[in-house]
Amino acid sequence: MKNTLYFKLKNKEVQESAFDAIVQEQKSIGYYALPEQDITSLLEYADTISDEVTQIAIIGIGGSSLGAKAIYEFIKPVRKLKRELYFFESTDPINITSLLSQLDYDKTHFLVISKSGTTVETFSIYKYIYSKNSHASSYTFITDPNSPLEKYANEINASVLYLPTDVGGRFSVLSTVGLIPLALSGIDIQALLNGALTLKKSFFNAGYMKDTILKKAVYYARHHGQYHINCIFAYSETLKYFCEWYIQLWGESLGKKQRHSAFNVGLTPIGLIGPKDQHSFLQLIMEGTRDKSVTFIKIEDFQDNIIIPDIKLKHLESLDVLNNLPFSQLINMQCDSVIEALLEEDIPLDSITIPKVNEENIGSLIYYYELLTSLVGELIDVNTYNQPGVESGKIILKEKLEKTIAGKS
Amino acid sequence: MKNTLYFKLKNKEVQESAFDAIVQEQKSIGYYALPEQDITSLLEYADTISDEVTQIAIIGIGGSSLGAKAIYEFIKPVRKLKRELYFFESTDPINITSLLSQLDYDKTHFLVISKSGTTVETFSIYKYIYSKNSHASSYTFITDPNSPLEKYANEINASVLYLPTDVGGRFSVLSTVGLIPLALSGIDIQALLNGALTLKKSFFNAGYMKDTILKKAVYYARHHGQYHINCIFAYSETLKYFCEWYIQLWGESLGKKQRHSAFNVGLTPIGLIGPKDQHSFLQLIMEGTRDKSVTFIKIEDFQDNIIIPDIKLKHLESLDVLNNLPFSQLINMQCDSVIEALLEEDIPLDSITIPKVNEENIGSLIYYYELLTSLVGELIDVNTYNQPGVESGKIILKEKLEKTIAGKS
């Protein structure tokens, strides 16, 4: 994985102090250590699921689904996987009915994922599905040790797996939360962790990534006032759900009150897919308000060398220039052309190139963004790991639910 | 369709002059008249496609695909449709290969949609598919009259349909561009236009929508400096692709240099789906920088009354409060709770309620957003209908392609 920054920055000092803060933070924040974990017990658990199970339904929302979905949707188009994953992430009845119509209960194992064990969406869906299929052996629960959900699972004799301590939902993709569904689908989770570990070592052991990520984080923090919208522009459809994962990670981690002031600060994440969004959002980047930075993500080798055939179409001769070109070369030329065009407009850019679509590379990319998020959070003085802003809506909902019950009785 | 604004605005005068400008603009901008069009010839064309064709592949990008996709994906989960639609929107070879593997050439009709007739993405994909299946009867071309593409289509004796004049790509969903694929899928395009017409009349004939849309447009324009990120928060998975359509419409129309100044202005569109994004982007809205407005979209009646069963789970008694609740009621209570929570934070909000998932309502919603975009464009002094910023990337690509050829010969 390469990362080229097209902007300049000095400030060695700020970078070093941010690095020191992260080295400290490692001791209390659990996600940093996930690349080195021993996955023997996870693989043993995965082996207990019968080969007759061909569908895995994940009942979880936010951090409990976005990471696994990002990796699954990245790998799926290039690999024949062992099992299909289905994600129940909404209380939309149309969505629930539509997803359930695709499942065969006899061939489905359900993973119920909730850190706290009391997520409204997850348990309304679980109750509905459990009313259709009450075999405890069809369910595995992933939750915090000693949560009410663990106690419930034990009560019905269903399997329970645990989240490691001090790992927040949106940083949990490389823990049981992401690894269990991915292992069940047939994705190589050791390779995924290896990719994350490579990135981690390059950062913490003063390799290539240390300087690069630090520079980028300091640039984002220092220019927070102007460039407060941070776009990922990924040139492959396989990265569509990676962008959704990024949006949660970035938005929920960095949109906060500052620790030492009353300021509301935040950096707004945008996920774009090229070349499609050249025909949509690009105009706004190019000629709109100068408040956006852009990170291009390219795949060097698509390993799918379909070529534009050498066909001349009468009256469309201007398109002959495309003939004999591999699509993989075309899409990367499209990306490079947009980079060049934006550089002329003096918009802060960088580009990440990953060699190909596999587990190692998505593992590296995920860890890269987690580190970047932690660094920027530190530099803009927010608590990167909480989300107090979503509580008030939950409390209002609870009041409404209680009123509804009171109204009925 | 109801639209409740939770912010205040006076300025009757600015509203009236914006209204007058739009009344004038109607004469030269083609999209306004689309709801009244006669679709007889479109339906006749659709009837010429054999019932043995069960798959429609749309080869088009940006304005040539986003509108049809938004409506198709909205209706599909609630309706058994006649044919499936597939969208080829990317030069990503993995995506092309994956989509083609789902098609049976004997049962597929291809719609090649390009206003100019020279879109790089569209024709690289077309050439590839044409090399696999060169039966002219498998293709219909939709383009501008007298374009090179029309001439090519006539050359190979394939069907050609035309875009109406003065309708730009991102405003073309209610023209042949959107109506043909939708009619072929079995969606009721007359009902779609009727919905748009209802909205149009309510606006232009001084109905309920005139005041509402004008107020909202003036508010967005006047507070452009502060609230320059405009989120749609739609509480149904069916509106996911509607959000993508909105992002193109809003971003590409409003991100511009001003007509009478050198300022780069723009309003940044964000598409969110509830309740999922309560667990992602909501924290940033709630506690991040105060630069966002939010429009909630709710569906009143999901017509899918699945109910959370009356199951008590030991140790999870706090969730009993969900029992016996229809999911449709839960999801709307979730939306209302977030609205209440955000109102306490003094964030500019409005909510749109559509009665149910059908063609009329999505037609109204689309026309509502088109009108709103035109009004805001007028009020922030940009040319809403061009996209000059995307040209420089295209020119650079062309140079690169020519160099590649020169290098080979």
pLDDT tens, position by position, B30-76: 999 999 999 999 999 999 999 999 999 999 999 999 999 999 999 99
Of the listed A8, A10, A127, A279, which one is catalytic?
A: A279
pLDDT band at A389 (very low <50, low <70, confident <90, very high): very high
Q: Is A397 on the interface with B (CB under 8 A)?
A: yes
- All residues of chain A having their beta carbon less than 8 Å from the beta carbon of residue B257 are 287
A252 is catalytic: yes
A51 touches chain B (CB under 8 A): no
Which residue in B135, B394, B398, B403 is the catalytic one?
B394
Cβ–Cβ contact A146 with B under 8 A: no
Residue in A276, A305, A354 to test binding to B, most B beta-carbons within 10 Å: A276
Average pLDDT over residues A372-399: 96
In this predicted structure, what is the pLDDT of residue B377?
98
- Residues from chain B that touch A124, judged by Cβ atoms under 8 A, are 308, 319, 322, 325, 327, 330
- Name the strands in the sheet holding A2-5, side by side, starting at the edge strand that comes first in the sequence: A2-5, A349-354, A292-299, A229-234, A268-273
Mean of pLDDT over chain A: 96
Average model confidence (pLDDT) across chain B: 96
Q: How confident is the model at residue A9 (pLDDT cuts 50, 70, 90)?
A: confident
The answer to whether the Cβ–Cβ distance between B127 and A151 falls below 8 Å is: no
The residue in chain A having the minimum alpha-carbon distance to the alpha carbon of residue B382 is: A288
Q: What percent of chain B has pLDDT over 90?
A: 95
| Element at B213 (helix H, strand E) | helix B208-222
Q: Say whether A330 and B91 touch across the interface (CB within 8 A).
A: yes
CA of A383, closest CA in chain B: separation in Å?
Answer: 12
Whether A316 contacts chain B with CB within 8 A:
yes
* ipTM field: 0.97
Q: Is the model more confident about A272 or about A408?
A: A272
| pLDDT > 70? residue A56 | yes
pLDDT, average across residues A141-168: 95
Residue among B95, B148, B337 minimizing CB distance to A393: B337
Percent of chain B with pLDDT over 70: 100
CB B251 to CB A283 under 8 A? yes
Bridge partners (DSSP) listed for residue A297: A234, A352
Which residue in A121, A150, A244, A252 is the catalytic one?
A252
Query: pLDDT category, A16, cuts 50, 70, 90?
Result: very high
Q: Above 80 in pLDDT, residue A3?
A: yes
Who among A123, A148, A283 is closest to B387 (CB)?
A283
pLDDT value at B408 more than 80? no
- B228 is an active site residue: no
Whole-number Å distance between alpha carbons of B311 and B52: 47
Ordered by where they begin, the domains of chain B are 2-26+191-379 (3.40.50.10490), 30-189 (3.40.50.10490)
Statement: residue A292 has pLDDT above 90: yes
- Contact list in B for residue A377 (CB cut-off 8 A) is none
- Of A92, A99, A323, which to mutate for an interface test with B (greatest number of B Cβ within 10 Å)? A92
Mean pLDDT in residue range B243-259: 98
User: What distance in Å separates residue B26's CA from the closest CA in chain A?
Assistant: 24
pTM: 0.98
Q: What is the mean pLDDT of residues A343-369?
A: 97
* Distance of residue A232 Cα from the nearest chain B Cα, in angstroms: 14
Mean pLDDT of B371-386: 98
Count of all residues that appear for chain B in the document:
409
The pLDDT confidence band at residue B409, using thresholds 50, 70 and 90, is low
pLDDT at position A116 is: 83
- Please indicate if any CB of chain A lies within 8 Å of the CB of B73: no
Residues 105-134 of B with CB under 8 A from A: 117-118, 120-121, 123-124, 127-128, 130-131
The band of A12, judged by pLDDT with boundaries at 50, 70 and 90, is: confident
CA-angle at B211, arms to B206 and B215, nearest 5°: 150
Asked if A81 reaches chain B (Cβ–Cβ under 8 Å), the answer is no
At B195-227, the pLDDT tens digits run 999 999 999 999 999 999 999 999 999 999 999
Question: Each residue of A251-263: pLDDT tens digit?
Answer: 999 999 999 999 9
Look at residue B12 in the predicted model and tell me its pLDDT: 85
Clarify whether B403 is annotated catalytic: no
Q: How confident is the model at residue A409 (pLDDT cuts 50, 70, 90)?
A: low
Q: Is pLDDT at A201 greater than 80 in this prediction?
A: yes
When pLDDT is averaged across residues A45-50 and rounded to a whole number, the result is 98
Q: Could you tell me if A94 lies within 8 Å of chain B, comparing CB atoms?
A: yes
